[in-house]
Amino acid sequence: MEAGTSDSPVFKVVLLGEGAVGKSSILLRYIENKFNNKHLSTTQASFATRKLTVNGKTVELNIWDTAGQEKYHSLGPIYYRGSQGAMLIYDITDTRSFERIKNWVRELQEVLKGTATLLVVGNKVDLDATRQIQRETAEEYAKSVGALYAECSAKENIDIDALFETITKAMMAKA
Ligand code: GDP
C-alpha cells in the first residue's frame, strides 16, 4: 500500500483471465456504468482508477486490465508485480476459461507468495441457462487455494460493485 495523490491509500488490482471472459466489460461497468456487446478489449483503456469507501475508510483502486494482450503473448510478472489484489475471471458458460484461471493462480502464488488477495470471479451469470461450471465447484476450488469467490454479470450489472468491495475489504484487512 502506498499514499495516493489525495492521501487515500492506493491498492493495485489486476484483472486476469482468458480473452473474452469479460474483463474489459467488468471494468467499463464499474467505472462508467456502461456495457457494450462488442468485444472491446483491444480498444479500451487498460488502466482505470476509482475511489471507494468501505467501512468508513476511503481508498483508491488502480485497476489494470490486460487489454487483450493475453492472446498474443504471456503477460509475465511485470503486469501483476506489486499488486495487492487480483481478480481471476472466467466465463461460467466456458469450462476452458475456468481451467485457465488455475494456471494464473499457480503463477501468482509462486511470484507474489501470498501477499495479494485473490478473488475468483465467475462472470456472465445472466447466461445461467447455459452454465457449464457449477457455483459449488468453483467455490470449492477457490477455497482450496485460499481465494475468495464471487459471481457477477457485467451485462446486467449484477454484483459488479460488490466484487470491488469484497476485494477491497480483504486488501484493507491485510494492509
Ligand atoms: P475480455 O477479453 O475478457 O476483456 O472480454 P470483453 O469484456 O471484451 O467481453 C467479451 C464478450 O463477452 C463481449 O462480447 C461482451 O459483450 C461479452 N460479455 C462481457 N460480460 C458479459 C456478461 O456479463 N454477460 C454476457 N452475456 N456477455 C458478456
Residue that the C-alpha cell 450489472 belongs to: 157
Q: Which three cell numbers stand for residue 8?
A: 487515500
| pLDDT of 29 higher than 50 | yes
> What does the pLDDT read at residue 74?
62
165 lines ligand 1 (CB under 6 A): no
Rounded average pLDDT over 35-57? 78
CA distance 28 to 62: 14
Residue 75 backbone phi and psi in degrees, to 5: -75, -40
pLDDT tens string 58-100: 999 999 987 555 555 566 777 788 999 999 999 999 999 999 9
12 lines ligand 1 (CB under 6 A): no
User: Which residue among 16, 24, 25, 42 is best mutated to probe the pocket of ligand 1, counting the most ligand atoms within 8 A of its Cβ?
Assistant: 25
CA distance 93 to 134: 10
pTM, full prediction: 0.93
pLDDT tens string 124-134: 999 999 999 99
The SS3 of residue 23 is helix
CA distance 23 to 40: 10
172 lines ligand 1 (CB under 6 A): no
Q: Which three cell numbers stand for residue 110?
A: 509462486
> What does the pLDDT read at residue 45?
47
CA distance 84 to 10: 9
Which of 5-9, 88-92, 109-113 is predicted most confidently? 88-92
For ligand 1, the distance from its centroid to the CA atom of residue 76, given in whole angstroms, is 23
C-alpha separations of 53 from 83, 103, 155, 166 in Å: 19, 32, 24, 12
For ligand 1, the distance from its centroid to the CA atom of residue 117, given in whole angstroms, is 24
